[in-house]
């Protein structure tokens, strides 16, 4: 577990104390590179960790040019598979290359727009969404996210044609990314803090699990059965997570960003966009954050939240030790709970290490973490086959 936590703790520690340390640019650059490359090795190098690779490995190995004519959605992903197979890449080489590419797209964006606060924004990224994106790893979504981040760079630079082109390309990997188009219209909103607060409050109250179920009940019978049964089961499994500590922490972060509006906007020439996209992130979380699969949608805008939090926390960390401890302690405990509550993240295994060993059978790999989870908790994870 410490493999995941070490770069987060290291990044926060350095960020908290960087103004105290008299470090020249060369040493600072070495520290940043160490944190980046260590994180790449851990977060992008997972072998038997994760869950989605189980089905994607079969898709990759079995897919061919004849099967392409049967694809009716998100065709770019399958074209990419054909390209990598034509070049002779195995599935895991393809997977690791995609992970590293998207990881560095996010790093490039954060370095470009958070500047001196890069390591702080990078640490926020690691302790919020990095585990889900790169270890659990919804592959098509991850690739779409990388393209979206490239598109958001053009949004900041007000190059609409490039922005829309890249968003459309991303939608050919994961259709949900088409929603990023709304960023173009929301980036210049000038709502007052009071109006933003009341919109968020209304969304939060309106989209409770009970109200979502009431809305689903108005759907036609076939659609109600398709969506309603899945959503009810999800809410039951989550044990009313709407009222969890994590949900209240999200509200706290929203208020924290709203309180620091002037600081965020005045931080740079693109500060208005950073603030507005962060608010859009929270609006989307309040709207779709409780719906299975749809919770991914706000993450398209999360790069702005990482920067906004880094700006808001930077000077504050130097003055208020309690807020510093509260923020870091919560994020670490949330990650520990996340890591231990599923078979996906531990025990950790690295493809970079297994690369020099004999290949493990597919059946062994898909059950390894599940076996260890069963030994640890006594609970059987999904599709678990007990070892003999």
Average model confidence (pLDDT) for the chain?
86
Main-chain phi, psi angles of 350, to 5 degrees? -110, 130
* The pLDDT of residue 356: 76
Among 335, 252, 301, residue whose Cα is nearest residue 12: 335
pLDDT at 285 over 70: yes
**pLDDT tens readout for residues 180-202:** 999 998 887 788 999 999 999 98
Higher pLDDT among residues 350 and 317, named by residue: 350
Q: DSSP string of 57-80?
A: HHHHHH--HHHHTT--S-HHHHHH
**pLDDT tens readout for residues 110-151:** 999 998 899 999 999 999 999 999 999 999 999 999 999 999
**pLDDT tens readout for residues 324-355:** 778 888 889 888 988 988 999 999 999 988 87
Among 22, 164, 154, 111, residue whose Cα is nearest residue 310: 111
Which range, of 35-44, 167-176, 236-245, 266-275, averages the lowest pLDDT? 236-245
Q: What share of the chain is helix, strand, coil (3-state, %, to 5)?
A: 75, 0, 25
* The pLDDT of residue 206: 75
Among 43, 216, 16, 18, residue whose Cα is nearest residue 129: 43
* The pLDDT of residue 245: 74
Peptide bond into 347 cis (omega under 30): yes
* The pLDDT of residue 305: 96
Q: If you search the block for the tokens 């006594």, which residue do you land on?
A: 378
* The pLDDT of residue 349: 93
Cα distance between residue 221 and residue 382, in whole Å: 28
Buried b (16+ CB within 10 A) or exposed e, 60-93: beebeeeeeeeeeebebbbebbeebbeeebebbe
In the predicted model, what is the mean pLDDT of residues 60-74? Answer: 86
> What is residue 350's three-state secondary structure?
strand
Give residue 205's pLDDT band: very low, low, confident or very high (50, 70, 90).
confident
In the predicted model, what is the mean pLDDT of residues 292-307? Answer: 87
The percent of residues above 70 in pLDDT, for the chain, comes to: 86
CA angle 334/337/341 to nearest 5° reads 145
Q: Torsion-angle region of residue 360: left (phi > 0), alpha (psi -120 to 50) or beta?
A: beta
* The pLDDT of residue 317: 56
Helices then strands (H, E): number in the chain? 21, 0
Cα distance between residue 290 and residue 247, in whole Å: 10
Name 338's Cβ contacts closer than 8 Å, sequence gap at least 6: 131, 345
* The token pair that represents 366 in the structure block: 């898909």
* The pLDDT of residue 319: 55
pLDDT at 7 over 60: yes
pTM: 0.90
* The pLDDT of residue 109: 97
């Amino acid at each position: 577990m410490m493999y995941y936590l070490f770069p987060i703790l290291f990044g926060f520690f350095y960020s908290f104390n960087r103004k105290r340390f008299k470090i020249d640019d060369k040493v600072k650059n070495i520290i940043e590179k160490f944190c980046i490359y260590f994180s790449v090795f851990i977060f992008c190098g997972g072998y038997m960790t994760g869950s989605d690779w189980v089905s994607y490995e079969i898709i990759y190995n079995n897919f061919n040019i004849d099967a392409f004519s049967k694809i009716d959605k998100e065709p770019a992903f399958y074209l990419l598979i054909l390209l990598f197979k034509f070049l002779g890449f195995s599935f895991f080489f393809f997977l690791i290359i995609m992970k590293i590419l998207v990881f560095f797209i996010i790093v490039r964006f954060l370095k470009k727009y958070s500047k001196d606060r890069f390591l702080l924004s990078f640490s926020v990224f690691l302790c919020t969404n990095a585990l889900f994106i790169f270890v659990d790893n919804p592959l098509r979504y991850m690739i779409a996210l990388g393209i979206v981040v490239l598109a958001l760079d053009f949004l900041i630079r007000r190059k609409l044609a490039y922005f829309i082109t890249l968003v459309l390309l991303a939608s050919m990997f994961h259709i949900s990314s088409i929603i990023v188009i709304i960023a173009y219209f929301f980036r210049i909103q000038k709502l007052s803090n009071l109006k933003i607060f009341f919109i968020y409050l209304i969304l939060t109250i309106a989209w409770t699990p009970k109200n979502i179920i009431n809305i689903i009940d108005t759907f036609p019978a076939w659609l109600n059965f398709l969506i309603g049964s899945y959503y009810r089961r999800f809410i039951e499994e989550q044990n009313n997570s709407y009222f969890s500590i994590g949900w209240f922490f999200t509200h706290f972060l929203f208020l924290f960003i709203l309180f620091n509006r002037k600081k965020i906007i005045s931080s740079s020439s693109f500060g208005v966009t950073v603030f507005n996209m962060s608010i859009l992130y929270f609006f989307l979380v309040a709207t779709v954050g409780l719906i299975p699969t749809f919770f991914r949608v706000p993450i398209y805008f999360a790069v702005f939240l990482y920067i906004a939090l880094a700006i808001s926390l930077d000077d504050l960390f130097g003055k208020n030790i309690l807020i510093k401890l509260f923020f870091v302690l919560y994020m670490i405990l949330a990650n520990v709970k996340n890591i231990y509550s599923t078979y996906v993240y531990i025990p950790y295994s690295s493809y970079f290490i297994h690369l020099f060993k004999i290949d493990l059978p597919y059946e062994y790999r898909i059950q390894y973490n599940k076996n260890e989870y069963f030994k640890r908790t006594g609970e059987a994870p999904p599709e678990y086959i007990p070892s003999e």
